[in-house]
Amino acid sequence: MSNNNKTPPILSSQICTQLLPLAFKLYHSYMGKSLNPSKRQKLIAHYDHRHLQEQPLIPGLPDHVAELCLSRVHPSLLYSVCRSWRRLIYCPFFPPFRSFYALFFSSSDNEIQLLSFDPMSSRWETVPPPPNPLRLLVHHPSFLCRNLPVQSISVSGNLVLLAGTAPNFNPAISRPLIFSPLSCSWSLGPPMATPRRWCAAGASGPTVYVASGIGSNFSTDVARSLEKWDLWEEDEMDDFRWKKMRQLKDGRFSTDAIDAVGWRQKLCMVNVAKQGTLYDVTNDIWEQMPEGMVGGWRGPVAAMDEEVLYAVDEDKGLLTRYNQDSDNWEVIMEVENLRGACQMAAAGGRLCVICGDGEILVIDVVAAPPKFWTVQRPAELEPLAVHILPRLSRLDF
């Protein structure tokens, strides 16, 4: 099949033929023996289908039943068949497929930009900008060999921007900045008691964690601190705040931008000096990291669905997977492109990696053997972080 996203018309009829038995079964299970139009109308009253009324999704079926049938077909097939099905997969109420998101730095205007890569169209798409432009310090003559970090995490299908450096070298973010792909909107989290930079940031389930770091000035209390905020409790005003948790025993993690990787109800943290620790989110205790785990932590690490740890050996270009039983890292594959890798995200059986030359590499670890390919980044933009999140909702396709 060619890559022009055009599929022979026969594909549409084949899919429809396969879906019709399921469609009528679902139709009768929803409608029972009554075909009362007012009853059908009540079932779909909570959706606005004005944008889908050019033609029925599946001829002879109400759209809400057709949607149930089409939700079982891979979005890439729906995208290729017809315009109405293509529109459907971007609607807010349709099960979203995953897309890649990247925070980029634009040297032309010194701004941070968030873009989304749509795997259906293979194009980068503009994300609505936050209310205020993100002007953070990324490059400075005093830091010739590295960027000043901009720290962001993925949590419950949202991107959360937590820490960065202002032009005056103070912490730039006093409240988390949250982007929701499904609503295509930005919002603010609760104020931090001490805005910080060079901290450890991560998530476990719907809860955001920030540990250590430096505020406007160094403070031992901040360097040892751990705070959490539950994103699911943001509608409860009494819980719309950061909660202090058990402190670190020292401030050894306060001078590095660290990914606190959520894995099996723990946060895994390793600093540049290869000192590691685990935080048990259930029991609020700090634990020693197993020797084998910290020994194989030789580059960016990400957890697939918070269950399986993957790591890149940035010196050798190796992709490894952690085996908890034997406390070692098993080599999955060697890829020259992975040398110098600096950041990685994991979700849905795929890894997305920012490589040393700014190339973005995608690895399908479910395939046997694993497959990988590159995603061409936009010209003149420098990738700072990648995330795997639900696709953007669109009503104007």
Q: Which two tokens stand for residue 240?
A: 């719309």
Span 314-333, average pLDDT: 97
| pLDDT of 296 | 96
Q: Is 49 helix (H, G, I), strand (E, B) or coil?
A: coil
CA–CA distance, 135 with 224 (Å, rounded to integer) = 28
Q: Is 12 helix (H, G, I), strand (E, B) or coil?
A: helix
CA–CA distance, 158 with 185 (Å, rounded to integer) = 10
Where are the domain boundaries for CATH 2.120.10 in the chain?
A: 98-200+227-239+296-390
Quote the radius of gyration of the chain (alpha carbons, Å).
23
CA–CA distance, 375 with 123 (Å, rounded to integer) = 9
Q: Which two tokens stand for residue 296?
A: 């194989």
Q: Give residue 296's Cα distance to chain centre.
A: 24
The closest of 392, 305, 386 to 349, measured between CA atoms, is: 305
* 301 CB-near residues (< 8 Å, 6+ apart): 259, 261, 268, 270, 309, 310, 311, 312, 344
Question: Using a CB cutoff of 8 Å and minimum separation of 24, what contacts does 351-358 make?
Answer: 351/302, 351/304, 351/310, 351/319, 352/100, 352/386, 352/387, 352/388, 353/300, 353/312, 353/386, 354/300, 354/383, 354/384, 354/385, 354/386, 356/314, 358/382, 358/383
Q: Give residue 361's Cα distance to chain centre.
A: 15
User: pTM score, two decimals?
Assistant: 0.83
pLDDT band at residue 341, thresholds of 50, 70 and 90? very high
Residue pointed to by tokens 């290729």:
80
Q: Is 113 helix (H, G, I), strand (E, B) or coil?
A: strand
Do residues 215 and 174 lie in contact, with contact meaning Cβ atoms separated by under 8 Å? no
The proportion of the chain whose per-residue pLDDT surpasses 90, expressed as a percent, equals: 64
- Write out pLDDT tens, residues 235-280: 555 568 999 999 999 999 998 899 999 999 999 999 999 999 999 9
Span 212-233, average pLDDT: 93
| pLDDT of 255 | 84
- Write out pLDDT tens, residues 9-29: 334 444 444 544 444 444 344
CA–CA distance, 29 with 392 (Å, rounded to integer) = 31
| pLDDT of 16 | 47
pLDDT band at residue 55, thresholds of 50, 70 and 90? confident
Taking the domain 98-200+227-239+296-390, which CATH number applies? 2.120.10
Do residues 75 and 88 lie in contact, with contact meaning Cβ atoms separated by under 8 Å? no
Q: Is 163 helix (H, G, I), strand (E, B) or coil?
A: strand
Q: Give residue 152's Cα distance to chain centre.
A: 10
* 337 CB-near residues (< 8 Å, 6+ apart): 317, 355, 359, 361, 372, 374
For 367: left if phi > 0, alpha if psi spans -120 to 50, otherwise beta; the answer is beta
Question: Is a pLDDT exceeding 60 seen at residue 7?
Answer: no
CA–CA distance, 106 with 143 (Å, rounded to integer) = 18
| pLDDT of 146 | 67
Q: Which two tokens stand for residue 229?
A: 């905020």
* 271 CB-near residues (< 8 Å, 6+ apart): 252, 253, 256, 258
| pLDDT of 20 | 44
Span 182-189, average pLDDT: 93
